[in-house]
Chains A and B, each alone.
Chain A
Amino acid sequence: MLKINNLHKSYKMGESSLHVLKGIDLHVDKGEMVAIMGSSGSGKSTLLNIIGILDELDSGEYILDGIEIKDLNEKKAAQYRNKFLGFVFQSFNLINFKNALENVALPLYYQGLKRRERQEKAMFHLDKVGLKDWSLHLPNELSGGQKQRVAIARALASEPKLLLADEPTGALDSATSHEIMQFLQQLNNEGKTILIVTHEEDISLMCKRIVRLKDGVIMEDKKIKQNILL
């Protein structure tokens, strides 16, 4: 599903450059649920951005679903993001003047689907996260947990190969966090590949594999016994 070999990335900081990722090797198979752990500055967000085609690598190789991601123009990158990837963010990143249904339908709009089709699909995914009755509500009328579920529904709407979650529970209380993680586990059990960036130990234990980053290199990569939420 995802193959990363000897990935390097550095950022220019004025005169000097900051070497953030120093040779990352990471293989993820279909159906895995991986937690990427690390303190701030470890390079975990940078890695996620590169995996999410939001940022470009300097050297190395990144193959997503058999396609090498390299030197893409903006249009192509947008296309791949739309087709392969679903994003869930810490701060939800819903568009605040669009209601839940319109937010979920947005990636489908960029796929070029017809309005009726978009709405049907969006409604299906909203129903899946249990928010069918909230479809016409604006984000600011929803609770944090509901917002994140709308965001997950939006990420799922384009039926991506890979779900990328950047601190998905970072802005939620522990009860709601568990609710969201439970839902992600359920999705994973249905076969969806999920990558979660987190710095919370208990969240990482709810995944099936933990990759620990420190100072731009992988310190540890191990399969664990998943803490299954019921």
Chain B
Amino acid sequence: MIDLGLFREIFQSLNKNKLRTLLSGFTVAFAIMLFTILFGIANGFQNTFNNEFAGDANNSIFINSGRTSKAVEGYQTGRKIQFDNKLYNTLKEEFNDDIEFITGRVYKNVTASFGTEKSNYSVRAVNPDHQFIEKSEMFSGRFINPLDLQNNTKNIVIGNLVVEDLFGDIDPIGKYLDLNKIKFKIVGVFVERTEGSDSNEARIIYMPISTAQKIYGNNDFIDQINLTYNPALSENEAIAFGNKIVDKIKDIFFVSKNDQSAVRARNRARENQEINQFNGVLAILVLIIGMGTLVAGIVGISNIMIFIVKERTKEIGIRKALGAPPNSIILIIILESVFITAIAGYIGLLIGGAVLNSFNLEEYWITDPGVSKSLVVAATITLVIAGTLAGYIPAKRAASIKPIVALRDE
């Protein structure tokens, strides 16, 4: 018999005992507020990590070369390791199954001019796969393609900030840009959406790697090899795969397996694993603390409800004498408990959310520590269950009150 009358009853009883209602609600509100803040902060950490690497595919491995630090097989230390096309092709063939995309990178700094506008930029000379590894989003035109590589074309793709710097409102597609006195044709514009962190990414100029090798060095040198591993690999498999590639390269260049500086790889799988572990520990911690405070809140409500039942023994006796069935007594107590818990919980949620929003926490590695809709739904369900749990024992006690005993109670 859930009807308006029942809610009127509950409101009346809560309203008559404002202080009691307030006090019992306080514990739950406080518990939920703490939980919300903790959860938000944990969320913020996670967002920070995710943002930090948002610009790259999350299955990428970047491989750099340096100088050897250990002597091996007659080679001295300090030898410079230089990647080249041969290495690129070897890796591509040998690890074909485990590689999703692969590209070489050649770096070059240039002065670019268009008309009277002039500025300095970094050039990255790459293979077509680069687009997918860096997750470059095309704004117009196209990226470097295999034909460009085959024909050593002087085609380039520029970032949206290069367009802003040099072209203003002019559509750059098809226009020629002067890089260190050599004219290149613009075939595409990409946009970089990683906010804040560095606008340099949006000021990159891409050109075919073969073109750069020919123009700037007349060699087949590569500065860096970037690849993404097959997404089907587990994190552990991917880490093993990364190690395998590095070992292969060390073999090719006669580098000691223990040499940490000659060949270096940055494997996202390793980072992902560390982040996941960290987030996992954080989540468990938050959950334990949150649940703990929530349990304390439930016990608090339950305690106060038992007191309420005691205090209302006589009223309950009167109701029973007038014909109240046991169910209606149970319902009244439980609904009252759910009501206090839910309202107080929401107040806690709102205060917690407000606290999170009112502080700028980005300096402390906490980005956008919001509370998601699904959490609010989950919290609602939790609160209703919590309220029911808190009200159950007191309600049972209330229902078992004998009217004669209750009526004698002065």
Contact = CB atoms under 8 A, between A and B. Distances in A.
Contacts of B319: 95, 106, 110
Nearest to A80: B323
B323 to A, nearest CB: 2
A63 B319 CA distance: 24
B325 A110 contact: yes
B196 interface: no
Interface in A9-27: none
Contacts of A74: 325-326, 399
B16 interface: yes
A49 B328 contact: no
A91 interface: yes
A75 B330 CA distance: 12
Interface in A105-119: 106-107, 109-112, 115
Interface in A84-123: 87, 89, 91, 93-95, 97-98, 106-107, 109-112, 115
Given A93-B407, A97-B12, A97-B13, A78 B5 contact: no
A196 B318 CA distance: 19
B16 A78 contact: no
A93 B324 contact: no
Given A91-B410, A97-B13, A54 B403 contact: yes
Interface in B351-410: 399, 402-404, 407, 410
A142 B393 CA distance: 36
A125 interface: no
A81 interface: yes
A170 to B, nearest CB: 13
Given A97-B12, A98-B12, A115-B4, A107 B322 contact: yes
A185 interface: no
Contact of A49 (B1, B12, B16, B404): B404
Given A54-B403, A97-B12, A110 B321 contact: no
B201 interface: no
A87 B325 contact: no
Interface residues of A, number: 28
Nearest to A86: B322
A82 B399 CA distance: 17
B323 A89 contact: no
B314 interface: yes
A154 interface: yes
Contacts, number: 64
A79 interface: yes
Nearest to B312: A95
Interface in B1-53: 1, 4-5, 12-13, 16
Given A54-B404, A93-B314, A79 B13 contact: no
B322 A154 contact: yes
A54 B406 CA distance: 11
B320 interface: yes
A169 interface: no
B321 A52 contact: yes
Nearest to A118: B5
A178 to B, nearest CB: 25
A78 B327 CA distance: 11
A75 B322 contact: no
Contacts of B315: 95
A110 B12 contact: no
Given A93-B314, A97-B13, A111 B323 contact: yes
Nearest to A107: B322
A187 B404 CA distance: 26
A158 interface: yes
B69 to A, nearest CB: 83
A78 B326 contact: yes
B403 to A, nearest CB: 5
B405 to A, nearest CB: 9
Those 9 A-B pairs whose CB atoms lie nearest each other, nearest first? A82-B323, A97-B16, A110-B323, A107-B322, A54-B404, A78-B325, A74-B326, A75-B325, A54-B403
17 contacts: A49-B404, A54-B321, A54-B404, A55-B402, A74-B326, A75-B327, A78-B324, A93-B317, A93-B321, A93-B407, A95-B319, A97-B13, A107-B322, A110-B319, A111-B323, A115-B4, A154-B322
Interface of B: 1, 4-5, 12-13, 16, 314-315, 317-328, 399, 402-404, 407, 410
Given A49-B404, A82-B323, A87-B321, 11 more contacts: A52-B321, A54-B403, A54-B404, A55-B404, A75-B325, A78-B325, A91-B410, A94-B318, A106-B319, A111-B323, A158-B323
